[in-house]
Chain A
């Protein structure tokens, strides 16, 4: 069956450093991969989408890479700030407008 793993349940870093989160998947060939931010008691907020034919996407301090051979995506937050502290979810999709398959998330804590 399809499986998504976000390798760290929790990640603690210091302010100003780059946070790198990992998402690995098996038994799946997604057409695209998305990253979401979720704060406690709130719904996920869309951050970035990367398609299977794209290697890298950037948005301000965020960068996502997608390696379909390794079946892995890396999510980077550069110059991290305490306000970046949240849970980050990786989600996979195979068709436009279909439901997503989510990982459990990695909780990032950025200390000042």
Chain B
């Protein structure tokens, strides 16, 4: 299957700082990437949909000015959590769909654990 990587795998930061998470498709071109958030014992909740070269589409209740998404190339999307607070602590996961993948399959990154102190 296709491979998606995320960096960093975990990060601890102080309240008020910004954190950038990278999502890369390693062996395919991801025309669309999705960002999900998962709290303990909860399902993955979609935050935003990112298409290469255009502005991300955010789900209701997700602040676009707080969660900045950039999808500048077909292999890289970034999520920046600005002015992070403890309630932003969560597991952030990206997934990609693209030209080489069966159109209904999504491949997920390993996730990034964010802890805000």
Contact = CB atoms under 8 A, between A and B. Distances in A.
A42 interface: yes
A42 B111 contact: yes
B105 A104 contact: no
Contacts of A41: 91, 111, 113
Contact of A43 (B46, B97, B105, B111): B111
A97 B32 contact: yes
A31 B103 CA distance: 12
B104 A32 contact: yes
A100 B106 contact: yes
Interface stretch (B14-22, B37-45, B63-71, B78-86): B37-45
Interface string A92-112: 010011111111110000000
B107 interface: yes
Contacts of B36: 102
Interface residues of B, number: 29
Nearest to B44: A102
B74 to A, nearest CB: 14
Contacts, number: 62
Contact of B104 (A34, A89, A103, A105): A34
Interface residues of A, number: 26
Given A99-B34, A102-B44, A104-B42, A42 B104 contact: no
B108 A45 contact: yes
Contacts of A31: 104
A46 B93 CA distance: 14
Given A41-B111, A41-B113, A43-B110, A104 B104 contact: no
15 contacts: A32-B104, A34-B105, A36-B108, A42-B110, A42-B111, A43-B6, A43-B111, A45-B108, A49-B104, A98-B49, A100-B34, A102-B43, A102-B44, A104-B43, A105-B43
Given A43-B4, A43-B6, A102-B45, 20 more contacts: A32-B104, A34-B106, A43-B93, A43-B108, A43-B110, A44-B44, A44-B93, A44-B108, A45-B108, A49-B102, A89-B44, A93-B104, A96-B103, A97-B31, A97-B32, A98-B49, A99-B46, A99-B49, A102-B44, A105-B43
